[in-house]
Chains A and B, each alone.
Chain A
Amino acid sequence: MAVTERDLGRFAAMVVDDPREFRVSGAVYTDPEVFAAELARIFARTWVYVGHESELPAPGDYKTVLIGGQPLILSRHEDGRLYALFNRCRHRGAVVCRQERGHSNFFRCRYHNWVYANNGALIGMAQSTGYPDDFDRDRYGLVAAPRLASYRGLLFARLAEDGPELGEHLAPLRKYIDWWFGRSPTGDIEVLLPPHRYEYPGNWKLQAENGYDGYHGNYVHLSWQRVLALAKEGSVEEVQQYRQAGAARGLAGGHGLLERPGSLNPNSSWMVRMMARYPEYEQAMRARYPEHDLVEISARRNIFIFPNLYLFDTHLRVIVPKAVDRTEVQLYFYNLRGVPSGLNQGRLRGHERFYGPAGFGAPDDIEVFTEVQTGVQARGHEWNLLNRGQHRERRENGEWVGHTTDEAPQRSLYRQWRELMSDGLA
């Protein structure tokens, strides 16, 4: 599908950045042309999260991923370096790897036995005398993604040659990401496989909009709040009170986050409760961080890194768009490194209680995504409102900062979406 100037104008008009009534068209969730353009103009052009280094610790380890529908292999070569390779044989186009993840010394195309090293180099073909002596194998390796870069083990690939470096892309979020890693006294995490995976009949942006939505919790998760009350882990009123505190932040670059304030009071901070329960954890944390950092680190944040990654307190959440109305979501639980094992055990069991396709919370979110996907088929009016809190948000250090229930982060998402989807418009 060739995107024309007329399309760009149409996409741009789907987001109205009105100071009192920020709104998006229902077509952003339902129009197949929008979806095709998103793959080309967002996922094939910006930094996309592909995995964490701890998933591929040894040379020969690999995993396969989709970036905007395109198959790639993330591979650790014997030189210890990571490569993001298009999973497409240079000969006739078959994939050279079909597994989700594993360990291999090479990738072999099963069609005509072309064989590639873990860095993509072509190292052999069947019946190679069928090619002339001066056939230059160096020209026919698996094609690497133009850019692959890591920030503290988080791996991002960019399929476009040009664009900002990863550091620039992450700059608005960097302090929040660093605080998020800070819950480990070594500042590091280790992903535990396999991930939770769920799929829903709805658009990918419904998940993106929801992870930092502080407005829905008391309604969509009232059931969860009742379970907490049953377990004497807080009355419904206490949980609802907690959900009022904090901020929703919209950042440049399409990023955003929901934040519950940090505190050294164990009643309001999970991290401080853990420090009280595990003296060795408290000792390690106090040795590494000054007190004002500990307060920030103890804040609970759901951090969205545009366009496909959330950092949550228990997991890395990866959004995989599959069709305009079909989305896969992967939740990679991680251990905090350098903490008592009981602490991570508790996080693991707590994660399973709320998240995943049979958790006590996540399926309720998925349910409302499908309700939006159905509802926006009705075109009696065109617009979904994302204007909550526009009248009371403030600008701070380039951020839009709103009440915890406001839609400041969602507005940032769609400002970036509009910019990328209409870039090049005269």
Chain B
Amino acid sequence: MASLSLEEAQRLLIAEARLLDERRFEEWEALFTEDAVYWVPIDPARDPAGALSIIHDDRQRIHERVYRLTQTPVLDQQPPSRTIRFVANVEVEPAGDGEARARCAQLIAEMRPGGPGQAGLNAPRWFAARCDYRLRRAGEGWKIAQKTVIFLNADAPHYNLSFIP
């Protein structure tokens, strides 16, 4: 079975970023395996079983997150975030049979548009992050078994992070 090539990893990570930028959340959700974990730690050195995370979603909660954004009257994404994600410094390494690890740096530019003078709107925000993916072979392609996003300022106070980082 072929291991994950750098080009393949780049295509996958960029495609994932584009699905989020285009708010195609259901298609994004379909990238994950049934046992997937999506983790945005406050302190990546701590075991999420015994410490708070910004996000620590199992597959069910990933689905709830997507459902909330797409099917419910959320305030915090109305108006919705615009995002542009830059994917860089991609590295891959094999991780056993049918598994691979991919790492990259991401810069996420985010802004929510609104009328004049609206507190919290119209201000671009920038999030730099290290991302770590555990990937699993699924037929011809790969699925995400774990996505970890470690913000440069993970332990700082954050305003609304309800767009999917």
Q: Which residues of A contact B (CB under 8 A)?
A: 100, 192-202, 220, 222-224, 226-227, 230-231, 325, 328-331, 333, 345, 348-349, 351-353, 356-358, 360, 363-364, 366-368, 370-371, 373-374, 377
Any chain A CB within 8 A of the CB of B118?
Answer: yes
C-alpha gap A358/B164 in the complex (Å): 8
Give, as a whole number of angstroms, the nearest-CB distance from A310 to chain B.
16
Give, as a whole number of angstroms, the nearest-CB distance from A129 to chain B.
43
Q: Which of B59-67, B99-107, B128-136, B140-148 contacts A (4 or more CB under 8 A)?
A: B59-67
Is the Cβ of A192 less than 8 Å from the Cβ of B160?
A: no
Is the Cβ of A367 less than 8 Å from the Cβ of B75?
A: yes
CB contacts under 8 Å to A, within B39-74, are 40, 42-43, 46, 49-56, 60-61, 64-65, 67-68, 71-74
Any chain A CB within 8 A of the CB of B152?
Answer: no
Any chain A CB within 8 A of the CB of B117?
Answer: yes
Quick one: closest B residue to A363, CB to CB? B76
B contact residues around A193 at 8 Å (CB): 51
7 CB < 8 A contacts A-B: A197-B155, A198-B159, A199-B157, A222-B72, A227-B68, A367-B76, A370-B119
Is the Cβ of A374 less than 8 Å from the Cβ of B118?
A: yes
Quick one: closest A residue to B53, CB to CB? A352
B contact residues around A223 at 8 Å (CB): 68, 72-75
Q: Which residues of B contact A (CB under 8 A)?
A: 40, 42-43, 46, 49-56, 60-61, 64-65, 67-68, 71-76, 117-121, 155-162, 165
C-alpha gap A226/B119 in the complex (Å): 27
B contact residues around A200 at 8 Å (CB): 120, 159
Is the Cβ of A194 less than 8 Å from the Cβ of B42?
A: yes
Quick one: closest A residue to B40, CB to CB? A358
- The listed residue (B52, B67, B121) touching A194 by CB distance below 8 A is B52
Is the Cβ of A352 less than 8 Å from the Cβ of B56?
A: yes
C-alpha gap A196/B156 in the complex (Å): 9
- The listed residue (A224, A230, A357) touching B159 by CB distance below 8 A is A357
Is the Cβ of A357 less than 8 Å from the Cβ of B161?
A: yes
C-alpha gap A373/B117 in the complex (Å): 10
- The listed residue (B67, B72, B119) touching A325 by CB distance below 8 A is B119
Quick one: closest B residue to A196, CB to CB? B52
Quick one: closest B residue to A195, CB to CB? B52
Q: Quick one: which of B61, B68, B76 has the most chain A CB within 10 A?
A: B76
B contact residues around A374 at 8 Å (CB): 117-119
A contact residues around B157 at 8 Å (CB): 197-199, 328-330, 357
